[in-house]
A and B are shown apart, each in its own frame.
Chain A
Amino acid sequence: MATTPAASTTPVQAPVPTERVGPPSRPTAPLRDISIMIGGQGGDGTLTVSDLLGRYFHAQGLYIYTARAVLSRIRGGHADASTRAHVEPVWAQKPVQDVLVAFDDDAVKVGLKELDPHGFVLADQGSVKTEGANIYHLPLSITAASKVGNGLYKNTVAYGALSALLGFDVAAARGVIEKRFGRRGGDALNFNLKAFDLGRDLVKEAGLPTPLFTVAPGSAKDHILISGNQACALGFVVGGGRFFSGYPITPATSIMENLDKMLPQFDGIVRQVEDELGAINMAIGAAYVGARAMTATSGPGLSLMTEAMGHAGEAEVPLVIVDCQRVGPSTGEPTRHEQSDLLFVVFASHGEFPRFVLAPGYASDVFEMTVQAVNLAEKWQIPVFIMLDNDESENTQTTPGFDLSKVHIDRGKLLRQEELDKMPAYKRYEFTPDGISPRSVPGMKGGVSQTTGNEHDEWGHVSVNPENRRKMMAKRMNRLELAKPDLPAPHLWGDEKARIGFIGFGSTYGPIREAQRDLKEKGVPTRFFQARTLWPVPKEALATFLEGLDVAFVVEHNYTGQFARLIRQEMPEAAPKLRSLVRYDGLAFRSPDLVHPVEEFHARSR
C-alpha cells in the first residue's frame, strides 16, 4: 500500500500467522466466517471443489464469496480457488484461511502462510509430502483412481472428506452434487456421489475426530450466487440489449459466453468476430439500425477500440462498452486484478466527445447499472462505458435476487413511425434545447438521414463551418452537464458523523465495506463514498461527502492513484483531504490493508 504521494512503497500485506508446531486447538463455537482454499495443479479440479462448497454454504443460508487463483506467488501450473462463507454479507476474500485442501506440495507451501492457527490442511496422500501437526493426509486421488475408476474424482472425494470434517448436513451436501451433476446425465452423477461417500469413509477410517469444527448456519434467503460478468450479461438482456459482438479476452469472455446462451431466446444475436476493431464497429452498425448493442473487452482490446469510441461519439450512436480491467499495460497479467484503465477510458480516442463512465461495485450493482447503461446510451445517444475489474468479473458472490420490477426501458428520443410521419422535416442532428436530436433508424419511412463521423450540419452533411462547429460541439458536450441527474448516484456507506472517509469504485467496494466493519469494532467510525459514476466526476456529491471529513482515503488498484488524480483535477479544492491508497501487485485488497493506514491516521490525529 502506498499513501500520498502515490505508489512509493510496496503494498502492505495482511498480517499472517507463522507456521506453528504442537497440537492445534480447534474453535469450539461454530465459525461465523470461514474460508477454504483449494490448491493444486491446473486440472486438479480446484474450481469444482470451490464451486461445490459455495453451493453447499449458499444452500445453508450463508453469504458466499468465491475467488480463483487467489495466490500468484508460485510459478508453473499452480491453480487455486477459495470459497468464503459468512453469516453476514461478504464481498471480498478473507485475510486468512481456515481450511486448506492441498493436491500438491506447492499448495501447502503457499497455503500454510495464510492458514489460521486453528485451521487444518486436508492433503492428498501421495501427492503431498509435507508433514505437520495439522496436516491430515488422506489418499484422495488413490481412492478416486482405484474405487471410482478415475483419479480426477479426487476433488469430489475431497469434498466428501471436508463434509465429514466440518460436520456438513449430509443430505444437503449430497444434494449439491445432485444439482450440479444431475443435468449432465450419464455416469457423472453416480461417480460423483460415490466419490463423495468414499471421502467421508476416508475420514472415518483415518480415525479423525469429526467434526473438527463446524460452520454456523445463515439466514440469507432468496439470494443467488453469481459473478459480475454473469450479472452484466443478465442486465444487458433485461435492459433490452439484443446485439453483442466481441472477441475473446480474459477476463471479459464470460460475458460473451453467457450472452451466447441467453440472447438467441430473445431474437438477439451474439457474434464472435475477427478482432476488437470488428467487434466495436459491428456493434455500432447494429446500434445504428436500432438494436441495443454492447461489446465487452479488457485493456488490450480496449486499446484497439479507441478510434471507434470517438466515432460513436461524433456520429451519436448509442453504444455500451464494458471494460473488464486486468493488469496492464500490454499483455500485462491477463488473469490478475487491477483498475488501471480508468484515465484511459475517461480520455480515450482523439478529439473531444461526451461519454459516461460507470463503475458498479458488486453483482447486483452490475446488473442494475448495466440496465441503466443501455438506457443512458440510447437516451443520450453517446457511448457509455461500464468498468469492471478482474475479481468483480470472475468471482462469484451472494447477491439478493434481482428486482425486475425496478427495470424500465427508456428509449429516449427514438422516434415511432407515427411521430415521424407528423414531422415537417427530419434532421438527424437537429439542434434541440438538450442537444439530443430525435432519432429515426433505417427502415423508417420519412427518416432517411446521414450518420457520420465527420463534423456535420443538422442534416448530416459534412461541414467545416466554424459557427456550425461551435454549435455542434456544444450540442454534444453539454450532455456531460445535462445528464448529471440521470447518472448513477454514489452509494454512501457507514457512519454519517465519521471524520475518516473512503472513496472507491468497482470491486474495492468489498474490502472497503469489510474494513469499515472491522474498524467499527475497533472504535473507528468511517464513511464510504462508493463512486458509481466516474465520468463526469460526481463533483457535487463528493464535495458534500468531503465536507465533514478530516481525510478521505482514495482506494484503488493502480500505481498512480488515477481516481485520486481525476478528482484532484476536477476539484482542486478537495486535494488537501485526499490520500491515495493503492495496490498494484495483481491481488485484491483485503480488509487489513485498509484498516492499518486508517488506524495509523486515527492514532496520529488524536
Chain B
Amino acid sequence: MPEVVKPIPATWCPGCGDFGVMAALKNSLKALSVPTEETVIVGGIGCSGGIHNFLDGYGFHSLHGRLLPTALGAKLANPKLTVVAVGGDGDGYAIGMGHFIHSLKKNVDITYIVMNNETYGLTKGQPSPTAKVGFHGNLEGPFDAVLTALSVSSAGYIARGFSGAPREAAQYITEALQYNRERRGFAFVEILSPCVTYNDTYQLWRQQVENVEKIEGYDKSDRAKAFSTVLQVKERGKIPVGQIFRVADGKGAPALDKTLLPMVERSPAATDISLEHNLPKYQKLLASLG
C-alpha cells in the first residue's frame, strides 16, 4: 500500500468543543467499521471545517457554505461511499442556509454535522445566526436549526448533542451513519460546541441542556410532539438535546440516492463509460433523433 497523507493534529484552541465532536465522529466511524477509503469527510470553511485534515479518510475542503451540495454530489455519484459533511453554524445557517433546507428536502444518505458555537470564531467572535440577542451587540433573534429541520417533511433523522457529553454525541452520529447505511435518507446532527476563546459557554450549556428523550411520554417518531416539546423546553430556558426525531421504521420519505440508484454498484462514478461498452446504446440514442 502506498504511503498516504497523514492526519495532522487539530489546530483548534485547547479546550475547543470541536475536539469532542471529532472524537465522537472518529469513534462512530470506527464503531461501524467504515473502511478509510470509503470515508469521505467534506469540510466547510471556519474552525470546524478543517476537521477533514485531522481524520483518516478522503477529505474534501469545500467552499464556505457549499459543503452540502458538494457532499450530496459525491454521494449521488457514488452511493457506496460514507459521506459526512461537517461545518459550523455560520457556514450552515448563514451563507449556506439555502442548501441546508434543500438538503433536508432532497434526503440523500449523508450525515450532516454542525458544530454550533453561536459565533464566528475564526474571524474573531462576530455573532452567528444562532447567537443570542446581546452577544457582541447582536440585535437579531437566534435561529434554531432543529425546529427548522423538523418543519421539512422529508427530514427523518434529527439530533442535537453537546460536545461536553461526547458519548451521547457519538451515539447520535453512529445512529446517523447507520441510518444512512440503511439508505433511509439524510441525517442531521447538530452538536453544541463551545468556542473557548470567543463564546465560552461550557458551564452555561452544561446546566441548560435537557435531553428530550428523558421527558416522560416523549415519542421521537412523532414529529408534532417533537416540535412542541422542543419549543416548550426552550421556553423553560433550557436547550433541548437528544435524538429529537427519528422517523418510524418503514415510514418516511425515500432516500433520493436509493430512488435514483437502487443498485449502488451502478452509479455515475462506477459505471463503464468506455465507447465499446456503450456503443449500441449510443447508436440507438442517435437514431432516435433522426
Contacts and interface: CB of A to CB of B under 8 A. Distances in A.
Interface of A: 224, 226, 230, 234, 237-238, 240, 242-243, 245, 262, 264-269, 271, 273-275, 277-279, 281-293, 307-308, 311, 315, 401-402, 404, 407-409, 420-421, 423-428, 441-454, 459-462
A95 to B, nearest CB: 29
B10 interface: no
A284 B70 contact: yes
B63 A402 contact: no
Contacts of B15: none
A442 B98 contact: no
A424 B98 contact: no
A287 B73 CA distance: 8
Interface string B264-287: 001111110111001101110110
Interface in B27-52: 35-40, 42, 50, 52
A322 to B, nearest CB: 17
Interface size classification for chain B? 35 or more
A266 to B, nearest CB: 7
Interface stretch (B53-61, B208-216, B217-225): B53-61
A277 B96 CA distance: 10
Contact of B76 (A286, A315, A443, A461): A286
A427 B70 CA distance: 22
A442 B286 contact: no
Nearest to A279: B69
A408 B4 CA distance: 32
Contact of B273 (A242, A402, A450): A242
B3 A285 contact: no
A446 B77 contact: no
A446 B53 contact: no
A427 B5 contact: yes
A245 B73 contact: yes
Given A242-B271, A423-B2, A265 B281 contact: yes
Given A425-B2, A446-B37, A273 B102 contact: yes
The A interface is mostly helix, strand or loop, or mixed, namely mixed
Contacts of A271: 76
Contacts of B71: 285
B66 interface: yes
A522 B13 CA distance: 79
Contact of B77 (A226, A243, A450, A459): A243
Given A281-B69, A289-B81, A450 B53 contact: yes
A445 B268 contact: no
B146 interface: no
A234 B5 CA distance: 39
A273 B69 contact: yes
Contacts of A423: 2
B269 A286 contact: yes
B193 to A, nearest CB: 21
A266 B271 CA distance: 8
Interface string B169-191: 00000000000000000000000
A450 B73 contact: no
B3 A404 contact: no
A404 B80 CA distance: 32
A240 B273 contact: yes
B62 A448 contact: no
Contacts, number: 222
Interface of B: 1-6, 8, 35-40, 42, 50, 52-53, 56-63, 65-66, 69-78, 80-81, 98-99, 101-102, 260-261, 266-271, 273-275, 278-279, 281-283, 285-286, 289-290
Closest A-B pairs by Cβ, 8 of them:
A285-B73, A240-B273, A286-B77, A242-B268, A291-B268, A282-B73, A452-B61, A267-B271
B275 A407 contact: yes
23 contacts: A238-B282, A242-B273, A243-B73, A245-B73, A262-B285, A269-B268, A277-B98, A281-B73, A284-B70, A284-B73, A285-B77, A286-B77, A289-B81, A289-B269, A290-B269, A291-B78, A293-B77, A315-B61, A424-B2, A443-B37, A448-B36, A448-B37, A461-B5
B77 A289 contact: yes
B263 to A, nearest CB: 9
A311 B63 contact: yes
Given A277-B65, A307-B63, A447-B2, 12 more contacts: A238-B278, A242-B271, A274-B102, A282-B70, A285-B74, A289-B73, A289-B269, A315-B60, A402-B286, A442-B39, A448-B58, A450-B53
Nearest to A283: B73
Nearest to A428: B5
A426 B70 CA distance: 23
B289 to A, nearest CB: 5
Contacts of A452: 59-61
B41 to A, nearest CB: 10
A308 B70 CA distance: 10
Contacts of B50: 462
B261 A442 contact: no
Contact of B278 (A266, A282, A461): A266
Given A237-B285, A443-B78, A449-B59, A426 B268 contact: no
Nearest to A223: B290
Given A289-B269, A441-B269, A281 B74 contact: no
A453 B36 CA distance: 22
Name the residue among A407, A442, A453 with the largest chain B CB count within 10 angstroms: A442
Name the residue among B52, B61, B71, B99 with the largest chain A CB count within 10 angstroms: B61
Name the residue among A226, A426, A448, A461 with the largest chain B CB count within 10 angstroms: A448
B76 A269 contact: yes
Contact of A281 (B39, B59, B70): B70
B63 A308 contact: yes
A453 B66 CA distance: 12
Nearest to A230: B289
Contacts of A282: 69-70, 72-73, 76
B266 to A, nearest CB: 5
Contacts of B80: 443
A461 B77 CA distance: 25
A450 B269 CA distance: 19
Nearest to A457: B5
B281 A266 contact: yes
Name the residue among B2, B50, B81 with the largest chain A CB count within 10 angstroms: B2
Given A428-B5, A448-B58, A450-B53, A442 B63 contact: no
Nearest to B267: A267
B267 to A, nearest CB: 6
Nearest to A310: B63
A515 B211 CA distance: 77
B243 to A, nearest CB: 27
Given A277-B66, A409-B274, A423-B2, A269 B261 contact: yes
Nearest to A441: B269
A293 B74 CA distance: 11
